Amino acid sequence: MRELWKILNNVIHKSKGKVCYPKHFTVEGKENDNMMDVANCFNKFFVNIGSDLAEKIPDVGRDTGNHNFINRNLSSMFLRNVEEKEVIQVVSACKNKTSRDCNDIDMILVKNVIECISKPLTYICNLSFQTGTFPNQMKVAKVIPVYKAGDKHDFTNYRPVSLLSQFSKILEKLFVARLNTFLEKNKILNESQYGFRSKRSTALALLDSVEEIANSLENKMYTIGIFLDLQKAFDTINHDILIDKLERYGIRGRVLDWVKSYLTDRKQFVQLGDFCSLLLDVSCGVPQGAVLGPILFILYINDICKVSDVLKLVLFADDTTIFCTGDDLQALEQEMNTELKKIKSWLDRNKLSLNLGKTKLMVFGNMGTNDVEIKLDDKIIEKVNEIKFLGVLIDDKINWKSHISHVQRKVSRSISVINKAKHDLNKNSLRILYCSLVLPYFTYCAEVWGNNYKTALHPLVILQKKAIRIIHGVGYREHTNILFANSKLLKFQDIVDLLTVQIVFRASKDNLPKNIQLLFSKRVGVGYNLRHTQNFKVRWANNKRKRLCPSVQGVKLWNNLGRQ
């Protein structure tokens, strides 16, 4: 498959290539073409991002605040021994990435020799757990600056991509497997957190939010949504606060010593082409690109959900959205202003920086939503009609017009690429291109935005038919039903229906997050028909947005399965 993609990328003129940097950068207002100096400036900038932001946050004290929201867990976590078979399984499950760490080792090399090194590697992992020590050689990160936007000569317009030791990833995966078992068993993580957790996704986080808004509209109420922007959230985590929280959650003794060791004495260097900077210490934050880092972050932010009894929070890692619902818009505005101050106070105590300029407000309601004004630190939060939320454009009418147009533009470009490649590739290769360049736009969170009116989705249906005709090399008048069948590809509406029914299937197994599971009510006492005992109650909905939600539309599809 790797060789096939090399050919496909060559045909469509897509190449990763080597990262190219300008011949000079602007350093302290002057041009500098000494790449070693520039690499050191990059490293200093990246290392200080978190600490510089944290210093600007008001020192409001933390001891009196955080303990109020975290109940001390009486159970403690223990680390079971690692077996050689487990190490081999963990390595085998790793992706075949060619990116090399600070030791110039990639995962493919490790996978090729794992049978030979599994015994000593298992010994090292067990020794690490038994002594509560994370090896220093695994704490060094190689950082590659990746251009974002703006002036390419300004190093502030680059983001860091950290490449950690391959063996660090293996040890972290072993620890995370044990940590996740403890967290799930003790129900530590809040139900509103959808990031970096098993059986959760951006689609479910988006669904939770949209169902909340749709219920509000159904009941002729208003919902105010605040989409918070946390600046460099992973970089500003305070280690002392994190350790204190972990101890209260039940991560104590040697396990906590291991986490402390993991966080301290970390170093990084920047590689800029052929030049490498000096090593610098990393004093705060959790490692970017790490396996354990995201789990530590969601534990760090976990208790924000207990700050308010009024607000509904939906979190996906550092993407934090708060909702407040009520039938009186003026009273709702006052309530949101009050509760938002509590959120800001929690952020300050926990050394997390809120970017008010990028934090946005949206009001969902059937009428008269223009006069809402939400303030924080005497600054008015900008009210918008649409915003990109978890990769999907959501608007204040939740009709998904903006997102459908966005998908239409992206798919059109991808189909143009496939069309240009049709003379050089066979049918199977064109199908692979379709599945890689087009299908992800059709499937991403489509169970939420794809349940829509046919007229709204018609442009996407037309584009999909165009793509399938290109794959089969037929004219624009050719019927597509047989083409989809021969290609073993689903039509767009079938994709949406499948994704939607999968949610209801999980509901039938009580296998959804609690917030989503509560949207579905099973029928009881239907007699002896076992199939119908798995049916769900169809919720009556007057509002058109609610009627199209998976909690209504999905249930109808599910209940009809036995009749088809």
Cα Rg, the chain, nearest whole Å: 26
Query: In the structure, what pLDDT confidence band is assigned to residue 66 with cuts at 50, 70 and 90?
Result: low
Predicted pLDDT at 85: 97
User: Is residue 277 over pLDDT 90?
Assistant: yes
Task: Give the mean model confidence (pLDDT) for residues 375-379.
Answer: 92
What is the share, in percent, of the chain residues with pLDDT greater than 90? 80
End-to-end CA distance of the chain: 38
Does 320 score more than 60 pLDDT?
yes
Strands 360-364 and 375-376 come out as unpaired
- Beta strand ranges found along 391-436 (DSSP E): 392-395
Residue 320's Cα: distance from chain center in Å? Answer: 11
CA 403 to chain centre: 18
pLDDT band at 60 (very low <50, low <70, confident <90, very high): confident
- Interval 296-315 mean pLDDT: 96
pLDDT more than 70, % of the chain:
93
pLDDT mean over 388-413: 96
pLDDT at 127 over 60: yes
Helix (H) or strand (E) holding 299: helix 293-300
Whether 212 contacts 321, CB under 8 Å: no
Domain topology for 204-232+308-390: Alpha-Beta Plaits (3.30.70)
DSSP code of 522?
Answer: B
Distance CA 144, CA 157 (A): 13
Take residue 219 and report the two structure tokens written for it: 């009941």
- Residue 38 contacts residue 155 (beta carbons within 8 Å): yes
Residue 61 has pLDDT above 70, yes or no: no
Note the pLDDT tens digit of each residue in 408-452: 999 999 999 999 999 989 999 999 999 999 999 999 999 999 999
In tens, the pLDDT along 21-59 reads 999 998 888 899 999 999 999 999 999 988 888 888 877
Tokens matching residue 162:
């950290």
Q: Is the pLDDT of residue 120 over 60?
A: yes
Task: Look at residue 370 in the predicted model and tell me its pLDDT.
Answer: 72
Output DSSP code: residue 551. Answer: I
pLDDT band at 528 (very low <50, low <70, confident <90, very high): very low
Q: What is the helix (H) or strand (E) element at residue 161, kind and residue range? A: strand 158-163
CB neighbourhood size of 363 (10 A): 22
Residue reference for tokens 């599809």 = 557
pLDDT tens for 244-271 read 999 999 999 999 999 999 999 999 999 9
CB 431 within 8 A of CB 471: yes
Which H or E element spans position 266?
Answer: strand 266-272
DSSP 139: S
Is it the case that residue 330 has pLDDT exceeding 50? yes
* Cα–Cα distance for residue pair 146/264, rounded to 1 Å: 26
**pLDDT of 63 higher than 70:** no
Phi-psi region of 225 (alpha: psi -120 to 50; beta: other; left: phi over 0): beta
Domain regions of the chain by residue span? 34-193+233-299, 204-232+308-390, 401-489, 497-562
User: Residue 4: what pLDDT?
Assistant: 60
Residue 145: beta bridge partners?
A: 160
Q: Which amino acid appears at position 151 of this protein?
A: D
Is the separation of the CB atoms in 416 and 383 below 8 Å?
Answer: no
